[in-house]
Structures are given as C-alpha cells and as structure tokens.
Amino acid sequence: MTRVKICGVTDSADRDAVVTAGADAVGVIHGVPVDTPREVDEATAERLTDGVPPFVTSVLVTMPTTVQEAVRRIDRIEPDAVQVHDGLSPAEVGALDNRITQDIVAVVEADAPAIEDYAAHADALLVDSVDADGGGGTGETHDWERTRDLVDSLDVPVVLAGGLTPENVAEAVETVEPFAIDVASGVESAGGTKDHDAVERFVQNAKRTSEGAV
Ligand SMILES: O=C(O)c1ccccc1N[C@@H]1O[C@H](COP(=O)(O)O)[C@@H](O)[C@H]1O
C-alpha cells in the first residue's frame, strides 16, 4: 500500500488532524531559505515533531547548505526522518548519513543528472517539482511517467510529490506506483493552514487506490 506524507503543518491542530486522517508521516518545514507560509521556527518544529505519536513518522523538511548545519538542526528537533531539499551533494548526503541515526530522504527532480548518486547515499528519494530556488511546495505536477521509470529502475524507495491534490492523487498512485506520496499546498485552505476535509479525502483516495478498490 502506498504510504502518505502530509507536509508543512504549522500548528498542533493541523498535525493532529493529519494523524487522525490516517497519514503515515507528518512533515514539518524548518530551515529553508525560500519564502513559504509553511515554514516554522525551531521551537515550533521541535514541539510539533515531539507531538507526533508512535507509529507515525515525523519528518523534518529542510534545506541545509552544510552537513554540520543539518546535524545541528536534526539534533535539536529530533525528527524520526529528515527530508533534504537542495544544498547537499550526494557525497554530503552520505556524510550526513554517517552522523545521524535518522533516515534521509533526498529530494531530486525527475530528470536531474545525479539521481543515481543520491540513490546510493540516501534511504529514499523524493521526486518533486522544485522552483528556481530549489524549494518545493510549488503546487506543480511533473512528468509522472518519468517518475514511474525511476520506481522501476532504482533500488531505493521513491516518493512522489508536486502538485498532488485529493482529486488527482488516485491517478498519480495508479500511474507511478510509488512507495509513498507527499503533499503540501494541495490540502490547504490558505497558505500554511490545512483544510482538514481535504486532508481526509487525500488520505482516503490515496489508500483506497493502492488497496485496489478503485
Ligand atoms: O512546501 C513548501 O513550502 C516547501 C518549501 C521548501 C522546501 C520544500 C517544501 N515543500 C515540499 O514540497 C512538496 C510538494 O509540495 P506541493 O504539494 O506541490 O505543494 C511538499 O510535499 C514538501 O515536501
């Protein structure tokens, strides 16, 4: 069954709604040099992460420029896993892996040249549509067939992100058959605020499809 991560929660009510909806992972965004309503400060990131219950994975989404910066952030916030956007080379992702106990999800574009190098060092790859600054949360889809090829050819789990919504997630899961899917802006009522009904529909549509009931 395809797992579901809901990303960019900014308060505990949204975090708890995501958990109640049945998501497998909750993403908290901190330490990104892009303008986004989904980023929270370090203390909030720590508090939101700490409140994620057992059997649900807390994920810190961040854009460090050095391994040291990433380690410092991860040590303070203590997520279950870290999603690294831009900034670190494949070798630096490998160096980070030697310094932390958490799994690393490396973010790549579907046609990036270094995909296999990242796959060699990361625990999973997340294929996203990124903006000119390397950030995510664009609300834009990309070529799902290309990501499907990566699912078929790579040994690491592949996560699909970018422009997913309750309306298109079933088709995305059927087309790509990813290990997991990830959404931020597609389940919001306003920037940084989750629409709880949309979160619920997103999780249901994703999981119903991957159970083969649609
Ligand atoms: O969501 C953001 O604002 C963001 C900023 C910087 C790095 C990553 C970010 N989000 C990630 O992008 C994916 C896809 O977003 P969307 O569904 O297209 O809005 C999201 O799931 C986050 O992992």
Extents of the domains making up the chain: 3-210
C-alpha gyration radius of the chain: 16
Closest C-alpha residue for ligand 1 atom 21 = 183
Q: What is the pLDDT of residue 90?
A: 96
Structure confidence at residue 111 (pLDDT): 79
Sign of CA dihedral 168, 152, 56, 123: negative
- Residues 6 or more apart whose CB falls under 8 angstroms from that of 108 comprise 114, 115, 118, 125, 126, 127, 128
**Structure confidence at residue 141 (pLDDT):** 82
* Annotation says 195 is catalytic: no
The answer to whether the beta carbons of residues 10 and 30 sit under 8 Å apart is: no
CATH architecture designation of domain 3-210? Alpha-Beta Barrel (3.20)
pTM: 0.95
Q: In the annotation, is 128 catalytic? A: yes
Q: What is the pLDDT of residue 214?
A: 44
Residue 197 CB contacts under 8 Å (≥ 6 apart), including other chains: none
Nearest-CA residue for ligand 1 atom 23 is: 7
Rounded Cα gap, residues 99 and 121, in angstroms: 13
Host H or E run for residue 172: helix 169-176
Per the listing, tokens 């899961």 go with 173
Measured at the CA of 52, the angle between CA 193 and CA 33, to 5 degrees, comes to: 50
β-pairing, 188-190 vs 193-194, is: antiparallel
C-alpha closest to that of 176 among 137, 209, 147:
147
Q: Pocket residues for ligand 1 (CB within 6 Å)?
A: 7-8, 27, 29, 32, 34, 36, 38, 61, 85, 128, 135-139, 161-164, 182-186
User: Who contacts 39 (Cβ-Cβ below 8 Å, separation ≥6)?
Assistant: 29, 30, 32
Q: How far is CA 183 from the centre of its chain?
A: 7
For the chain, which ranges sit under pLDDT 70?
A: 131-135, 137, 210-214
- pLDDT score of 210: 57
